[in-house]
Amino acid sequence: MKSKVAQSQTLQNHVYEYLHDQIVSGNIPPGQRIVEEKISQETGVSRSPIREAIRRLNSDGLVSVSPRGGVRVYRASFSDFKYLYECRLSLEPTAAYYAALRMNDKQRDCLSNVVDEMNLMVEKKDLEKLKSISSQFHSLIVEASENPYLVKMMNQLNSLISFYRNAVLNIPLRIEEGAIEHQAIWQAIQTQDGKAAEELMRVHIQRDYQFYTSMYSSAKEDKY
């Protein structure tokens, strides 16, 4: 009995991780319908674990389930991005402040490698890898804050924030500027300058939002 339960859980996790990565990366675009039969063919998993995985994705806010049973990938509105921005602006500068004070040697080595790889991806203009590495950069700083409540809140928002971060990284002018800002944040953390890390992270998030609002306004104008 236990082995069957464990197997079912493993299959559910497999589907969840597969769909999560496909959605966050943009391979399954916002608004697209998720069809159980298609996912079953792609993953080789029966529908029962797929349904459980979809329930988890719904709890994460990555999909919406209609009363009739249809499932679609979450499509963020401008208001959603504004509210996520407000959360980021409250939480991430605080995380950067405490990360500068509390980060251990292993975490420093890991973050250093991430920054180096991020700079390489900027040079190569590898946007897909850059999106993933940028997410790692921010996650490592949150983890290094060593504040379990802050980590928990950010983990709950992280998947939705990925939509926001990916949208910003689709703006060519933002890529190199963002990499410079990441480097500055990292240098402040290296020198254990909490105040500088906090302020640099705040400015970085504000710039993200400025670029996004500019892109959103341009897109609205193009419709008319």
Q: How far apart are the first and last CA of the chain?
A: 61
SS3 2: helix
Res 128 pLDDT > 90: no
> Which residue do the tokens 């020198």 mark?
191
pLDDT band at 168 (very low <50, low <70, confident <90, very high): confident
Are 61 and 156 in the same domain? no
Are 18 and 101 in the same domain? no
- The residues pairing with 65 across neighbouring beta strands, listed in sequence order, are 71
Are 25 and 88 in the same domain? no
The whole-number pLDDT of residue 212 equals 85
Contact 130, 149 (CB under 8 A): no
d(CA 180, CA 165): 16
CATH code of the domain covering residue 105: 1.20.120.530
Q: Using one digit for the tens of pLDDT, what is the confidence trace for 205-220? A: 999 999 888 876 765 5
The whole-number pLDDT of residue 164 equals 78
Are 176 and 191 in the same domain? yes
Give how many domains the chain has, as a whole number. Answer: 2
CATH code of the domain covering residue 33: 1.10.10.10
Contact 141, 189 (CB under 8 A): yes
Select from 35, 54, 73 the last residue of a domain: 73
pLDDT band at 18 (very low <50, low <70, confident <90, very high): very high
Are 112 and 163 in the same domain? yes
DSSP 142-205: HHHT--HHHHHHHHHHHHHHHHHHHHHHTSHHHHHHHHHHHHHHHHHHHTT-HHHHHHHHHHHH
pLDDT band at 2 (very low <50, low <70, confident <90, very high): very low
Select from 25, 40, 73 the last residue of a domain: 73
Are 198 and 212 in the same domain? yes
Are 65 and 148 in the same domain? no
Res 151 pLDDT > 80: yes
Q: Using one digit for the tens of pLDDT, what is the confidence trace for 83-96? A: 999 999 999 999 99
Are 143 and 215 in the same domain? yes
Are 121 and 23 in the same domain? no
SS3 33: strand
Domain of residue 212 covers 78-222
Lowest mean pLDDT among 7-21, 46-60, 146-160, 193-207: 7-21
Phi first, then psi: what are they for 72, rounded to 5°?
A: -130, 150
Are 130 and 149 in the same domain? yes
